[in-house]
Amino acid sequence: METSYFSSMDINRLNEFKDINSRLGIHDDLNVEKNRKIVFVYCPPKVGSTTIVSSLRISCSNTLTVIHLHNEIMLKVLYNITNATVNEIIEYNHFLGKKVYVIDIYRTAIEHKISSFFENIDTFHFNTTIENLKTYKIEKLITRFNNLFMHLANSDHFKDKYNIQFPDKFDFDKKYLLVDKNGISYIKLRLQDSKYWASILREILQLEVYLVNDYQTENKMIKDVYKIFKINYRIPENFLQIIINSSSFNFYNDVNERKEYLKKWENKVVIGEFKGFTEEEYIFYNKISVDNHYLNEIQQDHYIDCGCTCIACERKRKLLFEKLKRGEKMTDKIIHQTSKSEYIMDRIKNIRTFKKIPNKIIKNKFMVHHHL
C-alpha cells in the first residue's frame, strides 16, 4: 500500500482512520515529539512482546508511542475497530508523516506452542478454574496438547503479515532483521536473544532503552501446572521431525543453535507417531471451545506499563525508569488507578506539611485540577 492510496482517499474514509487512531490512543499532533515516532509491536502472542512494549513505554514514553497488536481480532475486541486492518493502520500513520517501526519476534516452536497452550488452558481448553486444573492428571493435559500441537503458534508475521520482501537469510551477527519498505522499518527479533534487545533497540531507534521482563508464564497463577507439564512432557518422534524440517527453524537458527536445540529435545522423545487433530477436527474443537469458554483471554492490563499518559502515571514511570537504569528488579506496575491513588496521597502528604487542610478537600481539588 503506497502513500498515494491515502492521498486519493475520500474525506469520510480519512476521518475513519482518524477515529481509529483516537481509539488506539494514538495522537497526531506532530508538534509533540512522542507523536512523531511510533512503534507497532505487531506479532503473534507468547513471544515476549509484552517485555518489548513495557520496556519501550518506561524507557521512551516522552519520545515515542508504542502500540501492541496481535491481529484484527484484538482490534475488534479491545477497541471496537472493524473497518481497518493492522497493516492499514500502520500505513496510515506513516502517511501522516510519522517515523514508523514494526516489530515481530521469533520463538522456538515447541516452547512457543506450549506457552500458547497454557495462555488460556483453563478458560478455553478445559473450561475450568486453575485450582480445579491442578487436580488433573498431567497425562490428560499432555494428550490434549499433542492433539493440538500441529495447529498452535504457526504464524510468522514478518513473513506472512507484513507484505514485505522476505530476506534470504537471518543476520546472526546483528541478531535481528531490518527491512525498510516505503519508509517503514520492519524489525525481526528472536526471543533467545532477549538479553541483547536493549542494545539492539538502542541502535535501531537511537534512543535510551532499558529492558524489563514482563508477563512471563512462570510468574502467573498457572505457574505450578506449567512447571509440572514442562518437566513431564515428552515430544512424539514425528513432531520433533516436523520441527527439524520446518523452514522457520532452519531460517532463524544457525547450524550450532539447531544442534543444541535438537540435543535438548532428543532426550525428551517418545518413540512412535502421534496423530493429533486433523484440520477439520481442530476447527470443530475451536468452535466448541469458543461456545463453552467463560472468559475473554484478550487482556489490556497485563503489562508492567499499561501506557497511560496522565500526570500520575508519568510520575510513576519516571520512578520505574530510574530503577531500570540502576538495574533493580521490577516489582511494581504502572496501572492508572493505582498510580492515581499514590499520586494524590503523596500530594496530600506534601501539602499537609504546610497547611492544615482536610484530606477530602485536597483530594477533590487534585482530581479536578489534574483530570485524574
pLDDT score recorded for residue 51: 93
pLDDT at 349 over 90: no
pLDDT score recorded for residue 86: 98
Task: Give me the residues paired with residue 103 across strands.
Answer: 41, 187
The x, y and z cell numbers of residue 300, run together, are 489490556
**Cα angle for residues 148, 153, 158 (degrees, 5° grid):** 160
CB 337 within 8 A of CB 159: no
pLDDT at 307 over 90: no
pLDDT at 172 over 70: yes
Residues 6+ apart with CB under 8 A from 48: 105, 107, 191, 194
Across the range 120-133, mean pLDDT stands at: 92
Comparing CA positions, the residue from 65, 75, 20 lying closest to residue 305 is: 65
Enumerate the H helices of 193-335 as residue ranges: 197-205, 223-232, 237-245, 247-252, 255-266, 279-292, 311-325
139-164 pLDDT per residue, tens: 999 999 999 999 999 999 999 999 99
The structural domains of the chain, with segments of one domain joined by +, span 3-292, 311-369
The answer to whether the Cα torsion of 136, 240, 286, 80 is positive or negative is: positive
Does an H or E element contain 40, and which?
strand 37-42
